[in-house]
Structure 1
Amino acid sequence: MNTNNLSEQLLEAFGPLICSTDQDVLDAANADAWKVHAGSAAAVMRPRNVEEVSAIVKWCHERNVAVVPQGGNTGVAGGAIPDASGQQVILSLSRLNRIREIDAENYTATVEAGCVLATVRAAVSEVDRLFPLSFGAEGSCQIGGVMSTNAGGINTLRYGNARDLALGLEVVLADGTIWNGLRKLRKDNTGYDLRQLFIGAEGTLGVITAAVLKLYPAPKTTVTALIALADLPSSVKLLSIARQHAGEAVSAFELIPRRFFKLANDHVLGTVGPLNADTDWFVLAEFDAGQGSLLNDLVQNMLEAALESEVIVDAAIASSVEQRNKFWELRECVSEAQIRNGAVVYTDVSVAVSVVPEFIRATSEKLAAFYPSVDINAFGHVGDGNIHFNLLQPQGEDMQAFLNLRKKFEEIVYASVHDFGGSISAEHGIGQSKIAALIEQKAPLEMAMMRRIRETLAGDSFNPNKVIPTH
């Protein structure tokens, strides 16, 4: 079936309100936001409810047409991008954007897959509740994609990632069947936990159309501190001190290199950082509590203990909401700053928290030995061992020559991850870009079990050649 025939059949079956073959719509959906991965779909399907999702999936399944689920298209691993054949269909969940219910007493929100994360966070805050998942793309990423990639973010240390924050799911299976697993229960010990098959599966096993999210009390007190470390190993020492003093109040603990500030200042903010300490490493930490009138004292005591132990050399506590926002603006502008700086080789890895400093040191040395002018921007969620170990195009060097070394750069980083017993994907998923690395790193038995699950539930119906090669 050629692309035109498939497009015409889809238009005839579902009409222009649901099926779009407009070139501008296709162009926007066929490539990721970073312009790293691109393909060519026959059409973009935009259903308005789960029944229309079911009908589209069933139609495609009966004709052996592969479906590529897509949310906000903010991923970096190519997991929501079609291949170049013109024989795949993008299934956009953007119009499934209703918040079906907020149950404040049960601390749950039932929302559809197309709901933007920031919208959900704002809606539950109106009833004095918190949905704690938060990261830079929250203004455009959607709940379906968040669940499908098992997204993490800055508050994973305290609240966990998407897998920990979903109580139930609604999913359309490969034949169009709708599985209603939208349970609001904290305890349900009735066999296999089926929802966990779909969370983190990147749309390869089914299409998530709605989720029951776990909520928390909205914090009444928040303390944010930008802290200058004595050195890189002190990051883990400071985390230990913070947890000893503040316990579960530690909600975010972000490692930031000095390189980060220069990127932000040169390309986005145009201002100097709030600390002038002579150090290469900083931590942005946040603490929150319900009625925590003593939280400020706890944080002050923690910083004093860290200073006395020579773990830190300076610190600034945000004195207002405006200053807190400026601290986080430094952290959140990194994606834009890196792109404005030039080409980027992204990696998203994790190791045990205790070995984060040694992992960064050892991996940096290996990369420098291979490429002496390497420009490293390693940062991230040190509280849960997730490091975004990114390599930036050195100023004055050719972009394409740098990008031609992407595979070798990744090999060095992933080999180091393996040596430290880590993971090649902490929160961005596998998509199409990390399949070869996954096969190399995962045990053959684990790959075999994942293949069996995929073959049983979906075969090639959803997202072929994502996560696991299908041919």
Structure 2
Amino acid sequence: MGKAEAVLDETMLIRDVDRGSHYIRDWTGEADGDPSFVARPRNVDEVVELVRYCADNGLAVVPQGGHTGLVEGASARIEGGHVLVSLERMNRIRAIDPLNFSVEVEAGCVLEVLHQAVEAEDLMFPLSLGAKGSCQIGGNVATNAGGINVLRYGMMRDLVLGLEVVLPDGRVWNGLKTLRKDNTGYDLKQLFLGSEGTLGIVTAATLKLFPRPSHVETMFLAVETAAEAIRLFAAARRHLADLLSAFELISDRSVELALTMPDLVNPLEMAAPYYVLLEASSSGPLDLEALVGGFLEFALEEGMILDGVRASSVAQAQKIWAIREGVVEAQVKHGTYLRTDVSVPISEVAVCIDEVEVALAGAVADGVVLTYGHIGDGNMHFVVMPPLTMAEGPERHAWIKASEAVIFEIVDRRGGSISAEHGIGRVKRSAFEKRASATQMELLRAIRSAIDPDNRMNPGAIFE
């Protein structure tokens, strides 16, 4: 009997890992790897036991949540002895504090489950992603997740009050405070937010909650240009008294693709170059309906909107949001393609979109370019799908890399970021290192070396 059997509880382990399982294959279906085994700890003590075992046996550790990422940040590796640590069994909601508007939750809790639990207390956790039915809180922390409500509530970095983390040497840092104000030295939790599992394993978090909105207004509006969409955004920010919670731009090609999904229809009779999905919400006695009515009247008078529909029910609002979600769901039917997740200052969004679409039309003809994203916070997704006649292989890969180079060059020129919310992982590592300054890399490596000197936590993510 080997050392693993003598030290680790076998009920925690999966020895014979199916290469087609969700532990290996991520949402894209492109990730692959060959871990020594998969571990599924049930509590912090088992995580500690596992991490110490890996240290003693020279095994790298790859923490994994819902495995819904798009940059292979939580994927198994082909090379080197390593263990996948799935937090899926650590899924308890430990405590909800309605008076403090906070919740303590384990890392493996699925985001949608947390939503349902706090809604039962008439509260809301505002982070919302297309993958909410699968993604887990630990992964949301490790990737500093964003989503549709960043405009009003911020990224995961803005929603975390405290963390519990198992460090690379097996020690536990318990920083599960629920304080809004705490200036006692460095804010250590911020080191682990967005660290992609390279500094430790997040096992629990304390999070901010908010009053559950009692009024929600959802609109689907047609606009002529990206510039008009940004003008509409500025007007919405001023007219809706900071109650604007989502502002999504969706191009006509993106909507066309979404409508290939079952039961989806365009709620507008006229086609338009771009559409805006706008949502505002409030709680208490504020008259949101009147505010929204005044905003729409102003926007129509100013010629910002070509056409529009205002959801008259929760069901209609859900159908509108299903179009946005359908854009992503329909992509996976088209083979290997380019997904980007970029950001620029909001004032640069419109010109960036125009430049990218024109440049791609010339550089990679015959492909399908989809433009959509959370433009209220400057985050856009340019998706480029090769021609249907192009087979999988080197030519397709080169075509995708050429498309990416075009987009990244424009984003660089506009003072943007090549990763707004998905992280670096392994997929964007080279592009990140090309753009990071020597000082930035030196500081990042110094932090990594101080916490994980043996480079055992998720090696290959973020850094070479």
Question: Structures share a fold, TM > 0.5?
Answer: yes
- How far has the Cα of 1:341 moved from its partner? 3.5
* Structure 2 residue aligned with 1:378: 371
CA 325–374 in structure 1, closer or farther in 2 if over 3 Å, else same: same
* Structure 1 residue aligned with 2:282: 289
* Structure 2 residue aligned with 1:466: 461
- How far has the Cα of 1:26 moved from its partner? 7.6
Distance of 1:289 and 1:403 partners within structure 2: 46
1:202 aligns to 2:196 (yes or no) = yes
- How far has the Cα of 1:9 moved from its partner? 3.5
Matched residue type, 1:249? L
* Structure 2 residue aligned with 1:100: 94
Distance of 1:105 and 1:235 partners within structure 2: 39
Matched residue type, 1:464? P
Preserved CA contact (<8 Å) 1:351 1:421: yes
- How far has the Cα of 1:22 moved from its partner? 2.5
* Structure 1 residue aligned with 2:218: 224
Once the two structures are superposed, the pairs formed by residues 128-143 of structure 1 within 5 Å of their partners are 128-143=122-137
* Structure 2 residue aligned with 1:300: 293
Matched residue type, 2:201? V
1:241 aligns to 2:235 (yes or no) = yes
Once the two structures are superposed, the pairs formed by residues 37-56 of structure 1 within 5 Å of their partners are 37-56=31-50
Distance of 1:464 and 1:50 partners within structure 2: 22
Distance of 1:136 and 1:292 partners within structure 2: 30
- How far has the Cα of 1:417 moved from its partner? 1.1
Once the two structures are superposed, the pairs formed by residues 333-352 of structure 1 within 5 Å of their partners are 333-352=326-345
Q: Deviations over 1:360-418 (max 9, x none)?
A: 11112222221121311110100100101111132333343333322222222111111
Distance of 2:24 and 2:316 partners within structure 1: 39
Q: Deviations over 1:148-203 (max 9, x none)?
A: 00000000000001000000000000100000000000000001000000000000
The 3-state SS of whatever aligns with 1:28 is: coil
Give the number of equivalent residue pairs: 462
Preserved CA contact (<8 Å) 2:364 2:399: no
- How far has the Cα of 1:345 moved from its partner? 0.8
- How far has the Cα of 1:357 moved from its partner? 1.1
Matched residue type, 1:112? E
Preserved CA contact (<8 Å) 1:303 1:315: no
1:257 aligns to 2:251 (yes or no) = yes
The 3-state SS of whatever aligns with 1:405 is: helix
Matched residue type, 2:232? L
Gapped runs of 5+ residues in structure 1? none
Gapped runs of 5+ residues in structure 2? none
Preserved CA contact (<8 Å) 1:25 1:44: no
What RMSD, in angstroms, separates the aligned Cα atoms of the two structures?
1.5
Distance of 1:299 and 1:50 partners within structure 2: 47
Matched residue type, 1:42? S
Once the two structures are superposed, the pairs formed by residues 17-416 of structure 1 within 5 Å of their partners are 17-24=11-18, 27-85=21-79, 87-266=81-260, 268-400=261-393, 401-416=395-410
- How far has the Cα of 1:292 moved from its partner? 4.7
Distance of 1:272 and 1:160 partners within structure 2: 31
Matched residue type, 1:337? A
Matched residue type, 1:68? V
Matched residue type, 1:136? G
Identity %: 43
Preserved CA contact (<8 Å) 1:70 1:92: yes
- How far has the Cα of 1:441 moved from its partner? 1.2
CA 12–27 in structure 1, closer or farther in 2 if over 3 Å, else same: farther
The two structures have a TM-score, normalised by structure 1, of 0.95
- How far has the Cα of 1:340 moved from its partner? 1.7
Distance of 2:151 and 2:64 partners within structure 1: 28
* Structure 1 residue aligned with 2:437: 443
- How far has the Cα of 1:25 moved from its partner? 7.6
- How far has the Cα of 1:271 moved from its partner? 4.1
CA 271–44 in structure 1, closer or farther in 2 if over 3 Å, else same: closer
1:429 aligns to 2:426 (yes or no) = no
- How far has the Cα of 1:442 moved from its partner? 1.4
Preserved CA contact (<8 Å) 2:249 2:375: yes
